[in-house]
Chains A and B, each alone.
Chain A
Amino acid sequence: MDILVILGDAGRAALGPQAAIYALAAIGLNIHFGYTGLLNLGQVGFMLVGAYGVAITVATFGGPLWAGVLVGLACAVVLAILLGIPTLRLRADYLAIATIAAGEVLRLTYNAGFAQPVTGGVYGLQQFAGSFYATNPISPGSYGVGRLVYSERDLWVMVVGWGAVALATLGLFLLIRSPWGRVLRSVREDEDAARSLGKNVFGYKMQSLILGGVLGALGGMLLAVDTQAVAPNTFNPVVTFYLYTLLILGGAGRVLGPALGSVIFWFLLLFIDSALLQAIGAGYIPAEVLSPSDVGALRFALVGLALVLLLAFRPAGILGNPREMRLEAGAAGTPRRRRKSTQAGSDRERGVAR
């Protein structure tokens, strides 16, 4: 069992393209859920339209890659508007139901036989990002130290991916510190209060949904480019739940939460994966108990356990502010319907705070 191999595998995943992709989509989710309080359970749907926007434009219609990016972004905006108009005026629960349904509808539609001439159906589309790699300025070779090495191809995706994450994080940082961000957070806290102060709550929610959806689409495009392939079943609802996991892990409603959460999530996932495989290989775990093919499933169970422990002892996430978190559990964070009955509870909260 070689700890350096394990750390190398985990580190490579923590900084690799996949982590950047998830970070980008989770920043979008942070705008929705962390700052506006929109429970979007269909972020993967935005990733899907972004990925397919690129793939279809290039592979099916032979267009240039930049046009594919524009198509993907446009699709995300349209999807956000279509989702938002009927649901943003309703309670948060309805948005959750509508978004998870929309994500599934999209996946099944792109998967369907009638869509096959355009989307490739269940086989998906491949080899559409050649022009992205053609512009790679990094000369061929492998880069890194020790076991933490990347090919020039991975490195190019990482530069673009983490560059996009940095830009999105900076943009979010500027927005959240602005009066615009203040309105967004007030909508999260109590939309009636925001309304009573003259804020167009529907408009702000729509802006939030579009902005976060576009970031989700960018994540999807990066995923498509990274793997040079799209297939509908990549975009399962479980992707959205991974995004929530890493967002809450890093700290929802924190500017750096998604990026940090993604790095830790992928580190943990591959750490466990690699450690288990090494342990089986070295004979520490008998093959009858756990075969190498079971590791893929077990690692998610163990990551889940690790996250449960983390959230039990640090529910605000790694970057969260415990003083703020206590409010979420007390009167101010509970839904309006229940607030009256927790008034006594909030008095206790204040006692704790002192």
Chain B
Amino acid sequence: MTAPPRGVLAGTAAEPGVAKPDPLLVVDRVGKAFGGIQAVDVEHLEVQRGVITGLIGPNGAGKTTLFNLLTGFDRADTGTWSFDGRAVAGLAAHRLARRGMVRTFQLTKVLGRLTVLENMKLGATGQRGERLVPALLRPAWRRQEAAIERRADVLLARFKLDAMRDAYAGYLSGGQRKLLEVARALMVEPTMVMLDEPMAGVNPALRQSLLGQITDLADGGTSVLFVEHDMDVVMRISDWVVCMAQGQVIAEGPPSSILGNRAVIDAYLGSQHDEPGLGEQP
């Protein structure tokens, strides 16, 4: 699974905020407080290009809030971040998406009264027919539309949604909705997809297929950053794992190093458990 080029992180030290060989996303001192609670307080984080990075942490660790901040769906109080070498802090969500940073949502957002195919076609960027005046002139966008439809059909077949192509997306099952959301995000041709709990509510059969899709993505050169609670999934497909707790990055490293990491265990289980050595600290 960690065959080149996805094994590039082999020599990177497993410590929070460590520099990566080829970072796609670089986050600096990003903070967000809700009332008196510091939801996110990330000192420094780099996300490597072309690999699968898992983001874990207990409930309320600030994972989804960090997603919202980075993708422009929420405004950060402090901090800067750059994507693909360009500063993107404060950019509107739709501009970030056009630059190749595309997210999905924890609670799926399929467009129920659009067909599955329409959901897919919506994802394509730079459509001439999406501008008011050319929209009236079908010849101005017909060929582009046909090309988009072909691309959508390929993706739908890959995600095994082709049978549902012309059904309203609102009639899909929960798992199919997750698949559609990921497939639709790919229509944007993202540099990086950010998946917020892609496996939540997905049945085991679909789960296998979704896992395969995610690893295929990374093999195809798309970077993946995903939030997930299912440790089994995280350990199986991640090339690198970042753990957050109370808004901060408390550990990162290859999956094998995370399982035994003291800070991670403390974050999940609390640091009160009896263990020799702990009591010596002030």
Q: A185 to B174, alpha carbons, bound, how many Å?
A: 22
Check B97 against A179 for contact (C-beta < 8 Å): no
Interface hits, B58-87 → A, CB 8 Å: 71, 73
Known: A186-B122, A194-B122. A180 touches B135 (CB 8 A): yes
Known: A192-B73, A198-B98, A332-B170. A179 touches B107 (CB 8 A): no
Please, which residues of chain B bring their CB within 8 A of the CB of A327? Answer: 112-113, 168, 170-171
Residues of A in contact (CB 8 Å), total 42
Check A183 against B122 for contact (C-beta < 8 Å): yes
* Nearest CB of chain A from residue B29's CB, rounded to whole Å: 25
Check if A153 is an interface residue, CB within 8 A of chain B. Answer: no
Interface hits, B81-109 → A, CB 8 Å: 92-95, 97-98, 102-105, 107, 109
Interface hits, A114-170 → B, CB 8 Å: none
Check A193 against B135 for contact (C-beta < 8 Å): no
Q: A188 to B118, alpha carbons, bound, how many Å?
A: 14
Check B109 against A192 for contact (C-beta < 8 Å): yes
Known: A189-B113, A197-B184. A179 touches B127 (CB 8 A): yes
Please, which residues of chain A bring their CB within 8 A of the CB of B171? Answer: 327, 349-350, 353
Complex A-B, nearest 8 residue pairs according to Cβ-Cβ distance, in ascending order: A332-B112, A332-B170, A179-B129, A180-B135, A178-B135, A198-B97, A327-B170, A193-B109
Check A192 against B122 for contact (C-beta < 8 Å): no
Check if B49 is an interface residue, CB within 8 A of chain A. Answer: no
Q: A333 to B171, alpha carbons, bound, how many Å?
A: 12
Check B141 against A196 for contact (C-beta < 8 Å): no
Check if B121 is an interface residue, CB within 8 A of chain A. Answer: yes
Contacts A185-B111, A197-B94 aside, 11 further interface pairs with beta carbons under 8 A come to A175-B132, A178-B135, A179-B127, A179-B129, A180-B132, A181-B135, A182-B130, A189-B114, A331-B112, A332-B168, A333-B112
Q: Which of A43-51, A58-66, A73-81, A199-207 contacts B (4 or more CB under 8 A)?
A: A199-207
Q: A220 to B173, alpha carbons, bound, how many Å?
A: 46
Check A201 against B94 for contact (C-beta < 8 Å): yes
Check B113 against A196 for contact (C-beta < 8 Å): no
Q: Max chain B CB contacts within 10 Å: which of A175, A178, A211, A336?
A: A178
Check if B23 is an interface residue, CB within 8 A of chain A. Answer: no
Q: A201 to B93, alpha carbons, bound, how many Å?
A: 10
Check if A2 is an interface residue, CB within 8 A of chain B. Answer: no
Check A196 against B102 for contact (C-beta < 8 Å): yes
* The residue from A196, A328, A350 contacting B103, defined by CB atoms under 8 A apart: A196
Check if B125 is an interface residue, CB within 8 A of chain A. Answer: yes
Check if A348 is an interface residue, CB within 8 A of chain B. Answer: no
A335-354 contact mask (Cβ, 8 Å, vs B): 1 or 0: 01001100100100110010
Please, which residues of chain A bring their CB within 8 A of the CB of B125? Answer: 197-198
Q: A192 to B107, alpha carbons, bound, how many Å?
A: 12
Check if B162 is an interface residue, CB within 8 A of chain A. Answer: no
Please, which residues of chain B bring their CB within 8 A of the CB of A182? Answer: 114, 118, 121-122, 130
The A interface, classified by DSSP as helix, strand, loop or mixed, is: helix
Please, which residues of chain B bring their CB within 8 A of the CB of A346? Answer: 170
Check A330 against B130 for contact (C-beta < 8 Å): no
* Nearest CB of chain A from residue B117's CB, rounded to whole Å: 10
Closest residue on chain B to residue A211 by CB atoms: B132
Q: A181 to B132, alpha carbons, bound, how many Å?
A: 9
* Nearest CB of chain A from residue B281's CB, rounded to whole Å: 42
Check if A311 is an interface residue, CB within 8 A of chain B. Answer: no
Check if B138 is an interface residue, CB within 8 A of chain A. Answer: yes
Known: A180-B129, A194-B122, A198-B98. A332 touches B135 (CB 8 A): no
- Can you spell out 20 A-B residue pairs with CB atoms less than 8 angstroms apart? A174-B138, A178-B129, A178-B130, A179-B145, A180-B135, A185-B118, A189-B111, A189-B112, A190-B109, A193-B109, A196-B102, A196-B103, A197-B187, A198-B97, A211-B132, A323-B168, A324-B168, A327-B171, A330-B170, A346-B170
Check A180 against B113 for contact (C-beta < 8 Å): no
* The residue from A174, A200, A324 contacting B136, defined by CB atoms under 8 A apart: A174
Q: A192 to B145, alpha carbons, bound, how many Å?
A: 23
Closest residue on chain A to residue B102 by CB atoms: A196
Check if B264 is an interface residue, CB within 8 A of chain A. Answer: no
